[in-house]
A = this chain, B = another copy of it.
Amino acid sequence: MYVWMNRVVGARLVDAIPCDPGWLVPAEEAAASPFDRGLLLGDGLFETILVRHGLAPLLPFHEERLAEGCRLLGYPPPPALGGVLEALISHGGLREGVIRVTCTRGEGPRGYRPPEVPDPFCVAALLPPSSAPEAPWRAVVSDVPTVPHPILSRIKHTSALARIVALREAEGRDADEVLFCTPAGAVVEGTATNIFWVTEGALHTPAVEATGCLPGVGRRWVIEWAENAGVRVHQGVFPLAVAGEADEAFLTNAVRGPIPLGEVVGHRRWEAPGPLTARLMAAWRDMADRSGPP
């Protein structure tokens, strides 16, 4: 297995293969700098990209979000992900899986203050696919509120310890996901998912700017699908109770697509997947399959 990197780190490496736009490095020799700000300070961005039949159908969405993240954090423009994917797929032996791309600000002087001229480090690996969600998910609601952040809420960044801690605490409660709310009690998102629910035939989901939810790639796909299918989508600020009154609910993720939500613990259970969720799951499978050779 090879790992893609925008530059080779490590003094004694000899087996790297040059590729456009970087290098392929044998996984067992791939190294990062222990002084990289991604490692020291969470100063990084990432994308996890679905690969089906050797193609990445949602690549443009990921590229757009990563470019916006680089712009907002003051990183140089991101690598051309098309070239990264092509290099990994042609050397990885996997045609079904997930590519994780991580871009950091690179090394810098000690302290939080970023260097004026970043020297970014980017690394990507092609990994086995996620297991398909077999049963509807159970979500718990976090006790810790999240506040919308004008930059961090809009980017998929590597300073993710709040999500890790929330999931770790949810383990004891047999939950698949943790839902966050604002201090005012508006639903925001899960740790790695956005949330949707269906009321009177229309989709509802938290609004990005007003709630601080991540503009997820799965979320965007659902919204564009609904526009094409003539299903209304309401993006807004909704208390959890509003979601609890819905007819059905699901989560979205760029790799898994729509995931039926069977329960928000302490609030509501649903028969899942509901009919619109099932339609969306089928449409997602079609999208993934259509991306490949006919």
Contacts and interface: CB of A to CB of B under 8 A. Distances in A.
Interface residues of A, number: 64
Interface stretch (A29-37, A88-96, A238-246): A29-37
A162 B158 contact: no
Interface in A1-32: 3, 5, 9-13, 28-32
Interface string A36-63: 1011111110101000000000000000
A140 interface: no
Contacts of A123: 34
B29 A32 contact: no
A71 interface: no
A31 B34 contact: yes
Contact of A11 (B29, B42, B152): B29
**What is the count of identical protomers in the complex?**
2
Interface string A109-136: 0111110000000010101001000000
B100 A40 contact: yes
Contact of A191 (B48, B74, B112): B112
B149 A162 contact: yes
Contacts of A152: 161-162, 165
Contacts of A28: 11
A243 to B, nearest CB: 21
Contacts of A11: 12-13, 28-29
A76 interface: no
Nearest to A111: B192
A114 B168 contact: yes
A195 interface: no
A161 to B, nearest CB: 4
A42 B112 contact: no
A42 B161 contact: yes
- 4 smallest CB-CB distances across A and B, nearest first, come from A42-B42, A31-B31, A159-B159, A12-B12
14 contacts: A5-B34, A10-B10, A11-B13, A30-B35, A31-B32, A34-B125, A35-B125, A36-B39, A39-B158, A43-B161, A112-B167, A114-B164, A149-B162, A158-B161
Given A41-B161, A42-B44, A110-B130, 5 more contacts: A9-B31, A43-B161, A110-B127, A112-B191, A113-B164
Interface of A: 3, 5, 9-13, 28-36, 38-44, 46, 48, 73-74, 98, 100, 102, 104, 110-114, 123, 125, 127, 130, 143-147, 149-152, 157-165, 167-168, 171, 183, 191-192
